[in-house]
Amino acid sequence: MQKPHILIVEDEDVTRFNLRNLFEAEGYQVSEAIDGDSMEKQLQTNQVNLVIMDINLPGKNGLLLARELTKNNDLALIFLTGRDSDIDKILGLEIGADDYLTKPFNPRELTIRARNILNRILPSSVEKDDAIIYFNQWSLNGNSRKMITPDNREISIPRGEYRALRLLIANAGQIVTRQQLIKEMTGRDLRSNDRTVDVTIRRLRKHFESVPDSPELINTIHGEGYRFIGRVEKVASNNN
């Protein structure tokens, strides 16, 4: 079986060297890049599963590069950066990053987070979810991770958004806790002051609000979690 492949995008030599040694010691295949151009070359020549990227990079910064990266739904992203403001964290998650860790960091924590994400995404490259879920004139395609709007537009959504929406729909009418959502999205437990779930729900609501007069589909249950209140019309297979 091929080793998971991690790409380190970091312009600081010592940090990049230490990260490479850390993940190679864990048994991963590791490549390096110092900026967006060298990252693109690595992505063109290697099958990368996870990118660990700084935000402060020469040329395009990490936030701009992440917008391009997250168009590939089978590629995971962790921001590892010295920028620890809430705004940067929320922007990173809004763009579609799977996780965000600030420097200085605990190497063990980083490897655990990376492993959890890889364990979530690697089966999906072999075992696709072939369900198509129809709800309120929308559809959610598991193979492509795309939503089709009532006016027939395609919206590609990151893996975390897809998993959150799928879990909410599967439990339509019931409260789904933030802990259940973060576990489904990332494989980890909910941490204090963690905004990942809230940002993901906000992104899903923006997709729905892009259709004029679209009804509210996701309720906030304060202090508990969220509830899907839409109408599930049909669940079909892509093979039909």
d(CA 160, CA 94): 11
pLDDT at 87: 79
Residue partners of 227: CB distance under 8 A and separation at least 6 = 168, 173, 174, 175, 176, 218, 219, 221
Q: Are residue 113 and residue 159 in the same domain, yes or no?
A: no
The answer to whether residues 3 and 27 touch, using CB atoms and an 8 Å cutoff, is: yes
Q: Which helix (H) or strand (E) holds 240?
A: none
* Cβ atoms of 66 and 95 closer than 8 Å: yes
Instruction: State the pLDDT confidence band at 125, using cuts at 50, 70 and 90.
Output: very low
178 strand-pairing partners? none
Residue 110 has pLDDT above 50, yes or no: yes
150-181 as b/e, with b when 16 or more CB fall inside 10 Å?
eeeeebebbbbbbbbbbbbbeeeeeebebebb
The helix (H) or strand (E) run that includes residue 233 is strand 232-237
Report the alpha-carbon distance of residue 191 to residue 203 in Å, rounded.
20
Range of the domain at 202: 131-237
Q: Of 98, 125, 152, which residue sits at a domain end?
A: 125
Alpha carbon distance 49, 170 (integer Å): 27
Last residue of a domain, one of 125, 147, 180: 125
11 in Cβ contact with 58 (< 8 Å): yes
Domains contained in the chain, number: 2
Asked if residue 93 and residue 148 are part of one domain, the reply reads no
Helices (H) and strands (E) in the chain, counts: 8, 13
Interval 138-196: pLDDT, tens: 999 988 888 999 999 999 888 888 989 999 999 999 999 999 998 888 777 777 778 88
**Is 0.85 topped by the overall pTM?**
no
Residues 150 and 100 in one domain: no
On whether both 147 and 73 belong to a single domain, the answer is no
CATH number of the domain enclosing 100? 3.40.50.2300
93 and 187: one domain?
Answer: no
